Amino acid sequence: MPASSLYNHLLLTQQQRDCIEVVLVSPRNPLNVGAAARAMANFGFSRLTVVAPYEPHWREARSAVGAPQLLQNAKETATLAEAVAECTYIVGTGTRTHRKPEQPVLLLPLAGPIVAKHLAGHGRVAIVFGPEKHGLTGDHLSYCHALLEIPTDPRQPSMNLGQAVAVCLYELACSDQKEPNDDRSLQSNSDPSATSGNLDRLAGLIEQTMLAAGYSPRTMEPANRHDLRIMLRSLAPSSLDTRRMLGLFRRILYRLQQASEPDSRSRKM
């Protein structure tokens, strides 16, 4: 057997790796983007999305040795919501040093089997990395199903962006891919999980319904929007359940709007 076959036999299959999106949010240094791209190439990942980068010439990063085509083919989006819209499971990376996460926390050595199960369910997974200066914000994390934490020394908890990408992808690519038995948040049936884009559409419709019902003052809209994103990802509805809920809330919103029309007409008279 060729040495190369023995060396690579632990890696995820190419089909699995093609279903994992690496997302960099507002990276400041093109060299870090290049280092991240090189790490992706090392482990056979090819799908890179960069959200609102600071440097317009990041595709020309010189540190992307062996990965220039990967950078040229990378997607660029204005928002994280757009970057992960087609993904069914989104993991944000970071530490708990300066934040109290609102979603489950995955230690990196335990994340591989969970990611593998989502891939086995015909899902798409996004691994999201934040800006070098402060990492992902609470708003960024509201689009994530879990926070992925790299075990580090508490005296220096943060890592360079390129190094963090390399460590995460190595662990995901080479970890034991046995499915976990105690993760109740994963789908047990054949219906795939809802995409992030569909969850955002459902959250928007629920928000419209709340406004029509006079649920809370307008000053609470940003907080309600944030909480809805967190809640829907915690519930992890299937694609079918999400369609059903969209239909339900469309009907409720229609009824509320119909009920308010006589009052509007009477005030005009």
Rounded Cα distance between 233 and 228, Å, is 9
Percentage, residues of the chain above pLDDT 90:
56
Pair 30, 58: CB distance under 8 Å: yes
Pair 200, 83: CB distance under 8 Å: no
Which residue reads 């990378």 in tokens? 74
Pair 114, 147: CB distance under 8 Å: no
Q: Give bridge partners of residue 106 from the DSSP assignment.
A: 148
Average pLDDT over residues 47-69: 87
pTM of this prediction?
0.86
Q: State the pLDDT at residue 269.
A: 52
Within a 10 A sphere around the Cβ of 149, how many other Cβ atoms? 19
- Please check the confidence at residue 181 and state whether its pLDDT lies above 70: no
Q: State the pLDDT at residue 262.
A: 65
- Please check the confidence at residue 180 and state whether its pLDDT lies above 90: no
